[in-house]
Amino acid sequence: MVSKILNLEAIQYINLFSRITGTRARDCFEYADHLIFEVAPFMISRTIGENGANIKKLSGLIKRKIKVIATTQDMEEFIKAIIYPVKFKNIQRENDELIIFAPSQFKALLIGRGGAKLEQLKEILKNHFNIKKLRIL
């Protein structure tokens, strides 16, 4: 993984997340209309809380949809967690370029209006895996 600098807003969200869930988030970023928190895999159930209580409380406080994903070094699993429920066939990495092969019905969902989701995903992958170019085929 690539080291990165968190902005003030992300640090504030991570601190609030930690106070409410009692667990530590390793990262926080936006994708689509979700605020995504990355936590250790063994802490997922504790983070979510009984019947999703912690996430519901956090979502109500910050008035945003929340998604919790497990930290992983596997790029394919990381991407699957972020874009869920959208699916893709496979990915192919060539140096600092990533190509995501997706079924035709999911391509528009991955790209987003005006390429917004594609740009967000590209920025996330740049920060985590040093991907400089992203294409959807």
**Domain architecture of the chain: domains with CATH:** 8-70 (3.30.300.20), 75-136 (3.30.300.20)
pLDDT, tens digit, 9 for 90 and up, residues 44-102: 999 999 999 999 999 999 999 999 999 999 999 999 999 999 999 999 999 889 999 99
Residue 3 reports pLDDT greater than 90: no
Q: Could you identify the residue written with the tokens 């992983």?
A: 72
Q: Give the whole-angstrom CA distance, residue 9 versus residue 15.
A: 10
Report pLDDT for 85. Answer: 92
Q: Give the whole-angstrom CA distance, residue 104 versus residue 68.
A: 27
How far the first Cα of the chain sits from its last, in Å, is 25
Q: How many CB atoms lie within 10 A of CB 130?
A: 11
Structure tokens at 90: 């496979």
Report pLDDT for 86. Answer: 93
Q: Is 104 helix (H, G, I), strand (E, B) or coil?
A: helix
Report pLDDT for 4. Answer: 60
What's CA 75's distance to the chain center, in Å?
A: 11
pLDDT, tens digit, 9 for 90 and up, residues 4-32: 667 888 899 999 999 999 999 999 999 99
pLDDT, tens digit, 9 for 90 and up, residues 113-134: 999 999 999 999 999 999 999 9
Report pLDDT for 95. Answer: 87
| Selection from 24, 115, 81 nearest residue 135 by Cα | 115
